[in-house]
Amino acid sequence: AQTVTQSQPEMSVQEAETVTLSCTYDTSESDYYLFWYKQPPSRQMILVIRQEAYKQQNATENRFSVNFQKAAKSFSLKISDSQLGDAAMYFCAYRRHMNYGGSQGNLIFGKGTKLSVKP
């Protein structure tokens, strides 16, 4: 079974600085998807960024980028120019590729990292 580990329960960053959140995962499959979700106090789950395992190029979405190391099974999130609105819980998630038998596309989540942004 696949597992996702986030080893940093809490992180703090100064406004306008850069912070990196760590995520490792365990799988025997070669094709899959990885995601970072943001959960602000409102509880809404917001997709921040996604990465397809077959793509070597790291995904980027404005101030958010990932460092995807497939061999190391590592998927870290870098937030540049941190803003007060970035304060939230961040979850790393894994999704099996739909081609695998028995895969119905559900997400497997880590426990999350709580990010605080200091003004």
Partner 1 sequence: NAGVTQTPKFRILKIGQSMTLQCTQDMNHNYMYWYRQDPGMGLKLIYYSVGAGITDKGEVPNGYNVSRSTTEDFPLRLELAAPSQTSVYFCASSPPGHYEQYFGPGTRLTVT
By the criterion CB under 8 A, which residues form the site for partner 1?
Answer: 4, 9, 33, 42-45, 47, 50, 52, 91, 93, 95, 98, 104-107, 109-112
- What would the two tokens of residue 47 be? 């997709």
At 94, the amino acid letter reads Y
Nearer to partner 1, 80 or 89 (CB): 89
d(CA 112, CA 106): 17
Nearer to partner 1, 13 or 23 (CB): 23
Nearer to partner 1, 18 or 54 (CB): 54
Residues 6+ apart with CB under 8 A from 83: 15, 63, 117
The least distance separating partner 1 from the CB of residue 99, rounded to whole angstroms, comes to 9
The least distance separating partner 1 from the CB of residue 79, rounded to whole angstroms, comes to 19
Residues 6+ apart with CB under 8 A from 14: 82, 117, 118
Nearer to partner 1, 73 or 80 (CB): 73
The least distance separating partner 1 from the CB of residue 13, rounded to whole angstroms, comes to 21
At 91, the amino acid letter reads F
The least distance separating partner 1 from the CB of residue 81, rounded to whole angstroms, comes to 25
- What would the two tokens of residue 35 be? 């995601």
